[in-house]
Amino acid sequence: MSEAGALTGMRILLGCFKLGGRPLFKLVLLPVITYFFLFRHQARRASMAYLQRMKAAGAIPVNAPIFWLSARHFWNFANALIDKLAVWMGQIPRSQVEIHNDELIADLHARKQGAVMVISHLGNFEICRCLSSRHQNLRLTVLMHTRHAEKFNRLMKEHAGNSQLDIIQVTEITPGTAMMLSERIERGEFIAIAGDRVAVNKPENALLVDFMGATAPLPMGPFTLAAILRAPLISLFCLREERGFHIYFDRLSDAVQVPRRSRQAHLQQLAQAYATQLEGHCRRQPLQWFNFFDFWQLPTPESGDAKGTGQHRAP
């Protein structure tokens, strides 16, 4: 979904943030988020359907009103945008960030072993910019589809300081892209790619997993990329908890090297392991998962989904 609003309006919001900090920014942003909550019906319905699943799973009190929880869901998304601006402007100190299982990254970095990191739309990945202050010379390349938010990303880059984080716009992994990423892995750098949103141009390249008690599609890309690059696969989640941020690292696999005949089954196993971790974090912070669409949409009989392959073709 393309972003709404002009770049001038975004600059005004940024000016409010610089002038009055979070209080003024939130005051100005409140009517904006209220408008989107009331009039973006598809996004609101998707939010409420997701929260209903979380309630059924016991992650939300059964007496909690879904409508107002959805409003808070939108508001949490707005606050995540504030955090995104703040971290790019260097206003979130390292003391506010706690890293769990950081020794995993320290060991790989010390051995100059690159890895593929599977990130998500849960929480605020940009907080990981603080890793460069934790591990000197650690470089992180983020592969993401940014064309739907070019104005916002342009605004952030204008106000970003020096960073070891490199964002690359991709819609598919071409041979040239794979070669470039392979060279970065060989230099001991890290590649990050989202694991909770199927490819924009090829939604059929997905794996079906069990997620929150139902079948859902996950992108095949992150897991295939690790196999192609023969790199370790690590999950990364960053959540706002209490008054700070928590970064969680977990190893999904050592260097992914499997025979071609069993690759599909291995990729399916990795995707399910990631889905289980994602569900666990969503249960802890349900209002911080920012996928405002029908995540559980399944293929129709006419979609040509191949039985037994784990692939999904969007209707």
pLDDT at 301: 42
Report d(CA 278, CA 155) in Å as an integer.
Answer: 29
Query: Cα–Cα distances in Å, from 76 out to 30, 122, 260, 285?
Result: 11, 11, 43, 11
C-beta of residue 267 within 8 angstroms of C-beta of residue 207: yes
pLDDT at 304: 42
At which residue do the structure tokens 């941020």 appear? 245
The pTM of this model reads 0.86
CA atoms within 13 A on the CB side of 295: 27
Q: What is the DSSP letter of 201?
A: S
Task: Tally Cβ neighbours within 10 Å of residue 244.
Answer: 14
For 126-168, the DSSP string reads GGGGGHHHHSTT--EEEEE--GGGHHHHHHHHHT--S-SEEEE
Per-residue pLDDT of 262-290, as tens digits, reads: 888 999 999 999 999 999 999 999 999 99
Which pair of tokens denotes residue 249?
Answer: 């690292």
Weakly modelled stretches of the chain, pLDDT under 50: 3, 300-315
pLDDT at 103: 94
Which pair of tokens denotes residue 17?
Answer: 């943030």
pLDDT at 314: 33
pLDDT at 205: 78
Which pair of tokens denotes residue 40?
Answer: 């973006």
At which residue do the structure tokens 């209903």 appear? 52
